[in-house]
Amino acid sequence: MNLNELVVRLPDALFILVFLGMIIVFFFLGRKRTIRKFREIPAFAHLKRSVGLSVEAGTRVHFSLGRGGISGLTAGIGLVGLTLLDRIARATSSSDRPPVATSGEGTLAILSQDVLQSAYRNCNVEGQYEPDAGRLTGVTPFSYAAGAMAAIKDEQVSTNILLGNFGSEAALIVDAGEQSGGLIIGGTDNIATQAVLYAMAQEPLIGEEAYASGAYLGAGPAHIASLRAQDILRWVIAAIILLGALAKLVGLL
């Protein structure tokens, strides 16, 4: 790595440091606040209700984590999916039928088992844990979808959550979920699949909404702090883009 490369990467380092600093500041500022107001995202309100109904009715929640893995550009949404899976597992820990998590990538499958076990252990119901609840259903897009569809059909699922990196095969999983008659919530980092989910899922999560799940489902003050930092930085970036366009329009750039 030469000096030029370092100079090129300096803004990246600064951006990450600023982001980290904002999260830490908002975390300490927001720790004592008991009332928090968020923009309403209907998907999360419906999810809470649907999960509660699943516990009462003795049906399962199906969680699809996609095929993104935990390295590379698609890692972010996979990790967010695992965080949400942890929240769902805790919320359904009193149910006879624990959630089932399907994934199309090995590391996600293992981590989903680990997350489920860890959530039950923290709720003192480790006996409820089933190793098969976190499963790899296929390693190609359509074999993964076919396996997830079978899980929806076989496991008496009443709530389907798709949160991860998917291709257009997500349409087949959503269709199977719709046939089972349950609620379907879908969020992904893939833009083309977001269009598919917008058309098909009952509650699509568009863009950064999928990344806000922790803050909306009470995962702790750090999630709220990071959401606030995200919001502010998004406005800053949008302002910079608009100013750049304006400067180009008047011939300054």
By CB under 8 A, the residues from 191 to 230 that bind other proteins are 191, 194, 196, 198-200, 202, 206-208, 210-212, 214, 219-220, 222-223, 226-227, 229-230
The residue among 55 and 168 lying less far from other proteins, judged by its C-beta, is 168
Binder among 26, 59, 86, 177 for other proteins (CB under 8 A): 86
The residue among 26 and 92 lying less far from other proteins, judged by its C-beta, is 26
41 lines the binding site for other proteins (CB under 8 A): no
Task: Supply the minimum distance, in Å, between the C-beta of residue 137 and other proteins.
Answer: 7
CA distance 22 to 229: 6
State the DSSP code for 209: G
Q: Give, as ranges, the residues between 135 and 174 that touch other proteins (CB under 8 A).
A: 135-143, 145-147, 150, 153-154, 168-169, 171-172, 174
Q: Alpha helices, DSSP H only, in 31-160?
A: 42-57, 75-91, 106-122, 141-154
Residues 6+ apart with CB under 8 A from 164: 64, 65, 66, 67, 68, 77, 78, 81, 103, 108, 188
What are the Cα distances from residue 49, in Å, to 92, 183, 205, 210, 217?
12, 10, 17, 18, 12
Q: Which of helix, strand or coil describes residue 53? A: helix
Task: Supply the minimum distance, in Å, between the C-beta of residue 52 and other proteins.
Answer: 23
Binder among 117, 159, 180, 193 for other proteins (CB under 8 A): 117
Binder among 36, 49, 234, 248 for other proteins (CB under 8 A): 234
Task: Supply the minimum distance, in Å, between the C-beta of residue 5 and other proteins.
Answer: 9
The residue among 107 and 123 lying less far from other proteins, judged by its C-beta, is 107
Closest CA to 155 of 81, 54, 44, 83: 54
Task: Supply the minimum distance, in Å, between the C-beta of residue 12 and other proteins.
Answer: 7
State the DSSP code for 185: E
Binder among 132, 181, 249, 251 for other proteins (CB under 8 A): 132
State the DSSP code for 176: H
Binder among 30, 76, 123, 125 for other proteins (CB under 8 A): 76
